[in-house]
Amino acid sequence: MRTISLNTFVDFVADFPEPGASDDLPGKEVAEFLASGLQCRGIEAIRIADERPDIGRYVYCSFRDQHFAICVTFDNRERDGRWQLLPYPADDRGRIDRRKRRNHSEAFETLLLAIHETLRQSPQVREVRWFPHFREPHYLAIQRPGDGPIRDPRAEQHWPFVLRLDRFLNDVSRLLVSPLVCLLVFVAATALAAIDFSWALVLVAVWLTAAALSGIVLRALVSLYVAHAARQRNS
């Protein structure tokens, strides 16, 4: 399977009814508009569902025997509320297919391009922004958006340092809690316990501390800084 660098999250401003305070689940018109646009571009729109009222509506679709789901949400925390679309590979029940989420297929690329064309050619849509993946709004505020789903692999080199640091910490924390590292720590701790139990405790404590620092504490500090920088930029 070829490696594809893609932007997989898009937000935009559009002339669709925005949710009011009493609306539990926004986006019916956006979901119908999206499903119609995909259908015209060869993507089979299977159904529109609202089983996740805490998040948003979902458009389920398929292409070349591969299933996808697109989450439609609305973010009103910016000055102009922005609609958000988060597509992802899914199984036949609509659940995230984690095996395919990191290895993007040509079918997924086709879906993203169809979404892009649907948005770009609609007079109701403007200010379309593509990002590598979903992030909180304050992260998006300091990140340069892409102009489509195909991403330059060198784009991350131009990210602000704090975003590259956050990505590095995320990668480190994922590595530390990976099954292989957990197994190595367990084997090493077992071997040390046979010699000196206190050294085994030290090893486990260092491993847990490193995982907590990289995955929770340091990333929380980075998030606070990013939120502050975003507020300054928007003020």
- Which pTM was predicted? 0.71
3-class state of residue 43 by DSSP = coil
CATH number for domain 9-150, candidates 3.40.50, 3.30.70, 3.30.310, 1.10.3470: 3.30.310
pLDDT digits (tens, 9 = 90+) for 69-122: 998 988 876 666 789 999 988 876 666 655 555 556 788 889 999 999 999 999
Residue 69: closest CA among 51, 91, 50, 84: 91
pLDDT at 1: 43
Per-residue model confidence (pLDDT) at position 115: 95
Structure tokens at 226: 């990013």
